[in-house]
Amino acid sequence: MRPVVGIVCEYDPFHRGHARQFELIREKLPGAGIVCVMSGCFTQRGMPALFAPAFRAEAALRAGADLVLELPCAFAVRDAENFALGAVGLISALGFVTHLSFGCETDDLSLLSAVAALLEQPNAAFSSALRTELAMGRPFVAAQAAAILAGLRAGPASGHKTPAAGEYQPDANHPLPPGIPQEVGVQPTTSAAFSDEPTTVGSPDSRLPEAAAVDPLARALTRPNNILGICYLRAIRRLHSGLRPLPVLREGEYHAASLTSVGYPSASAARRAFLSGDLRGAETACGYPLSGVPCHRPDALDAVLLHRLRTMDPAALRALPDCSEGLEHRLIAAAQRATDREQLLAGLKTRRYPRARLSRLAAHALLSVTAELLAAHPAPESVRLLGFRRASRDCLAALGQSPLAVIAKAADGDRTSPPLQLEERAYDLWALGAGLPAGLLYRQQVVVCEAV
């Protein structure tokens, strides 16, 4: 069978840069199939998606994807590590995907692999430096980057394999040497900022350790897509997956504020243009019509969220994932004062509680997700087909042979299953914010793309 490349994505919305990634993958692997595992109604940053999953899936299929599958909500709205574990676990379990493509800000796969190995098996230098940095009050991202620098320069922990010839071996005098041979997978392909893959990092430059201004390695370790790419590599290692990494180097700005920025548009800029009424700009960025398409505005569920938080007791809040250390009391107080979601998050955010964590916590409260539910379902148990190209019969046939149960119609799933009930809540909340009736999950049809 031809090579098949998996992509973890949100496509909120799908734009010209995403289509460029497809082209670059097929330049490197001619004739490759592309399977997209896409977040559904809620994204990793804890926000409802702007457009419905079926609409986003159709855009990807028209641009050349062969299959679009849905990443279950239980894994889509998670921190980067668990997001990556869920997505890589699902792609690996399909049984026919050979590669995993992801965007990154450095083309040094061996460096990213070395960092992934260190984080999976930390040495004493890493652990000591991390404790020191956190004790100094550094944000976790910056503290971890500094600890990685210390860990790489100290060498592997006991039990680590000795680097083979050509693998990345850190040198304090040359922290990011050019042209290092790749450890695994294939050579990175160069692209503009083509993807809006999720990340736990907001503005990475504001979280740089002091050394980052002069140390390119330190800077590389705080870039958002490098961080997520390392999480993918860690997941591949932890799951003993046979997926081969296929990184794609970014050239544009991931969080570009406007569509006038150099290079391909960012999904953030496309969303901003659409929401501000610049329909023409958003359509130019995306490459397809957006007029009249149902959408979910970011503030559509603010009142629902605040009502939910104001009526939850401390025990119910403590049951939410990642709600500990008395955070439930801060949530209760902030929900009483706030009049919208932005005020809520602004009133909660501290160095200890970064915005990304709080945003996901708010989403979990809205969706009634508990830590117990996530612990009871640690890996995807089924895969939902959002759409396929009719010409991609081989990928569709391979999907049918997958060890995972394939659900084409939600009505065919077990409606007593907590993961499916979570999907139903996510779709109904998205529909509520978009001005649509409930039951969207069961009305949604598999998208069949006739394009060759």
Same domain as 284, residue 339? no
Q: Which of 317, 337, 369 is the last residue of a domain?
A: 369
**C-alpha separations of 141 from 24, 84, 137, 219, 357 in Å:** 30, 17, 12, 11, 13
Verify that 182 and 115 share a domain, yes or no: yes
115, 222 contact by CB (below 8 A): no
Question: What pLDDT sits at residue 223?
Answer: 85
The three-state secondary structure class of 344 is helix
User: Do 291 and 434 belong together in one domain?
Assistant: yes
* pLDDT the model gives residue 450: 92
Among the candidates 369, 397, 416, a domain finishes at 369
Residues 105 and 240 in one domain: yes
| Number of domains the chain contains | 2
Q: 388: which 2 tokens?
A: 């396929």
Report the Cα 325 to chain-centroid distance in Å. Answer: 26
Is residue 270 situated within a structural domain?
yes
What single DSSP character describes residue 437? -
pLDDT tens for residues 391-429?
Answer: 999 999 999 999 999 999 999 999 999 999 999 999 999
| Confidence at residue 198, expressed as pLDDT on a 0 to 100 scale | 40
Of 349, 369, 389, which marks where a domain is finished?
369
pLDDT at 218 (0 to 100): 77
Within a domain: residue 141? no
Nearest C-alpha neighbor of 231 from the set 199, 207, 208:
199
Decide if 160 is inside a domain: no
β-bridge pairing 382-389 and 67-71: antiparallel
| Identity of the amino acid at 74 | A
Same domain? 257 vs 315? no
pLDDT for 183 equals 30
Q: Does 364 lie in the same domain as 258?
A: no
Distance in angstroms between the alpha carbons of the first and the last residue of the chain: 19
Residue 288 lies in a domain: yes
Q: Are residues 57 and 184 in the same domain?
A: yes
In a domain, 431, yes or no: yes
* Same domain flag for 336 and 396: no
Residues in the chain where the model's pLDDT stays below 50: 159-209, 211-214, 254
At 345-393, the pLDDT tens digits run: 999 988 788 899 999 999 999 999 999 999 999 999 999 999 999 999 9
Question: By the 8 A CB rule, do 36 and 75 touch?
Answer: no
Domain of 4, CATH number, reads: 3.40.50.620
- The verdict on 344 and 402 lying in the same domain is no
**pLDDT on residue 224:** 85
Q: Which residues pair with 388 in a beta bridge?
A: 67, 448
* Amino acid, single-letter form, for residue 161: K
What local confidence, expressed as pLDDT, does residue 180 receive? 26
Same domain, 281 and 203: yes
> Which pairs count as long-range contacts for 307-312, CB under 8 Å and 24+ apart, including other chains?
308/365, 308/366, 309/335, 309/344, 309/362, 309/365, 310/335, 310/336, 312/365
pLDDT computed for residue 257 by the predictor: 57
Report yes or no on 173 lying in a domain: no
Q: Are residues 188 and 326 in the same domain?
A: no
Instruction: Give the three-state DSSP class for 285.
Output: helix
Q: Looking at the structure, do residues 344 and 246 belong to the same domain, yes or no?
A: no
Sign of the Cα torsion 447, 75, 79, 34 reads negative
Q: Does residue 93 form part of some domain?
A: yes
Domain of 412, in residue numbers: 1-119+178-298+380-452
Task: Report if residue 145 sits inside a domain.
Answer: no
pLDDT at 319: 98
